[in-house]
């Protein structure tokens, strides 16, 4: 039976006979980062190993839905990258299965096993922070924010952008970070205050940083690697890490349960967690901190005054965030977003 997959804006089509593939030296890659990054990884794995690597790219939530729809007859082998929460939810739902890579000890301890038992392995991490248009703040006579509490001060009213947690994982990471940093009761009080200062909620996570770069707001709440990306593109933004601590995302890599080419899938996961492979990310403006301790932080990150390994982070509970996602987003949508600004 021939299958045709149409994926994302690029409408990538991969056609193959599923029965024939199972008998070939193949590893089917499902990827959720930037399309060109996924393509480059697939091409390099095929070149390095001789294993044919057809690939498909879709956002994390779309890929979760695809894997769930295929659970009775899995078509993919490895789910590579994308926001960790859907990976962790997939593990909880039994859509993926545990695998501890052979180079597990080489991974940063806090990133290697986010929810335990190797049910999803950390591929990269990105601390949450701000893209700040320092020039605009100076022009308006306003100080640089230093802490999360600063963002609720009256002088920043109408000067903040953040994505909407119903559409973007960045904003959900921000919600969870505040609730964990301050405790739920005080955290919800804080989010109500922050809401009054927000000028715009964007659909995508990084768009808030672009608004800051364009001068439509002064502060965009984004992942710091996105702030670095905008600064490198020439936008007048400065990456700033909150001094009182911040949450972070972990992009994961998962072995799909019932993978038709499981041994090749395991080889891919081991290979994907090596420094040479992880360095591919920077070629596609993806400046996250990679999970292997021996993978250097891109020079461009330090050029813009950031060292992600020195950012003060909170103890982020990924499993709690995954299990409470529906409740938290529902409460934010009904009790915070509906308030007047």
Using one digit for the tens of pLDDT, what is the confidence trace for 251-280?
999 999 999 999 999 999 999 999 999 999
Q: How many domains does the chain have?
A: 2
Q: What angle do CA 221, 170, 32 make, to 5 degrees?
A: 140
Question: Residue 94 is part of which domain span?
Answer: 2-125+249-306
Cα-based distances in Å from 318 to 21, 83, 116, 210, 253: 35, 11, 10, 27, 15
- Quick check: is 61 in a domain? yes
Rounded distance between C-alpha atoms, residue 173 and residue 85, angstroms:
9
The distance from CA 171 to its chain's CA centroid, rounded to whole angstroms, is: 11
Indicate if 320 and 180 belong to the same structural domain. Answer: yes
Indicate if 119 and 202 belong to the same structural domain. Answer: no
Q: Pick the closest to residue 50 from 254, 274, 267, 276 (CA basis).
A: 267
Judge contact between 301 and 287, C-beta under 8 A. Answer: yes
Indicate if 119 and 130 belong to the same structural domain. Answer: no
Model pLDDT for residues 82-117, shown as the tens digit of each residue: 888 889 989 999 999 999 999 999 999 989 999 999
Q: What does the pLDDT read at residue 8? A: 38
Rounded distance between C-alpha atoms, residue 318 and residue 315, angstroms:
9
Running DSSP on this structure, what letter comes out for residue 296?
Answer: P
Indicate if 203 and 324 belong to the same structural domain. Answer: yes
Residues of the chain predicted below pLDDT 50: 1-22
Pairing of strands 96-97, 55-57: unpaired
Indicate if 81 and 171 belong to the same structural domain. Answer: no
Model pLDDT for residues 205-220, shown as the tens digit of each residue: 899 999 999 999 999 9
Please, is 313 exposed, middle or buried when counting C-beta atoms within 10 Å of its C-beta (0-12, 13-18, 19+)?
middle
Indicate if 209 and 327 belong to the same structural domain. Answer: yes
Indicate if 179 and 106 belong to the same structural domain. Answer: no
Q: What does the pLDDT read at residue 23? A: 53
What are the tokens at 90?
């997939």
CATH assignment of the domain containing 298: 3.40.190.10
The structure's pTM equals 0.83
- Quick check: is 341 in a domain? no
- Quick check: is 145 in a domain? yes
- Quick check: is 259 in a domain? yes
- Quick check: is 39 in a domain? yes
Cα-based distances in Å from 75 to 3, 21, 255, 262: 10, 10, 12, 11
- Quick check: is 234 in a domain? yes
Indicate if 181 and 60 belong to the same structural domain. Answer: no
């Amino acid at each position: 039976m021939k299958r045709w997959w149409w994926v994302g804006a690029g409408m990538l089509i991969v056609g193959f006979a599923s029965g024939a593939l199972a008998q070939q030296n193949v590893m089917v890659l499902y990827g959720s980062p930037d399309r060109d990054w996924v393509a480059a990884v697939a091409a390099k794995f095929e070149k390095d190993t001789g294993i044919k690597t057809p690939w498909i790219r879709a956002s994390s939530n779309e890929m979760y839905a695809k894997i769930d729809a295929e659970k009775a007859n899995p078509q993919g082998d490895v789910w590579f990258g994308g926001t960790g929460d859907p990976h962790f939810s997939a593990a909880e739902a039994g859509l993926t299965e545990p695998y501890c890579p052979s180079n597990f000890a080489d991974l940063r301890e806090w990133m290697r096993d986010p929810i335990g038992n190797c049910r999803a392995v950390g591929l990269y991490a990105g601390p949450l922070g701000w893209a700040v248009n320092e020039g605009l703040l100076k022009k308006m006579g306003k100080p640089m924010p230093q802490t999360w509490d600063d963002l609720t001060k009256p002088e920043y009213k109408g000067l903040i952008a953040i994505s909407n947690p119903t559409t973007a994982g960045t904003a959900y990471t921000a919600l969870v970070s505040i609730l964990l940093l301050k405790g739920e009761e005080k955290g919800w009080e804080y989010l109500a205050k922050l809401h009054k200062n927000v000028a715009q909620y964007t659909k995508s996570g990084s768009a808030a940083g672009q608004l800051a770069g364009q001068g439509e707001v002064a502060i965009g709440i984004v992942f710091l690697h996105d702030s670095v990306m905008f600064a490198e593109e020439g936008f007048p933004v400065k990456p700033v890490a909150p001094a009182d601590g911040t949450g972070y995302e972990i992009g994961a890599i998962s072995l799909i349960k019932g993978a038709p080419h499981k041994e090749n899938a395991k080889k891919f996961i081991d290979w994907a967690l090596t420094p040479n492979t992880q360095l591919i990310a920077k070629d596609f403006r993806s400046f996250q901190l990679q999970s292997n301790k021996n993978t250097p932080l891109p020079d461009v990150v330090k050029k813009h005054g950031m060292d992600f390994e020195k950012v003060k982070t909170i103890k982020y509970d990924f499993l709690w965030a995954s299990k409470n996602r529906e409740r938290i987003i529902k409460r934010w949508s009904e009790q915070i977003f509906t308030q007047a600004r």
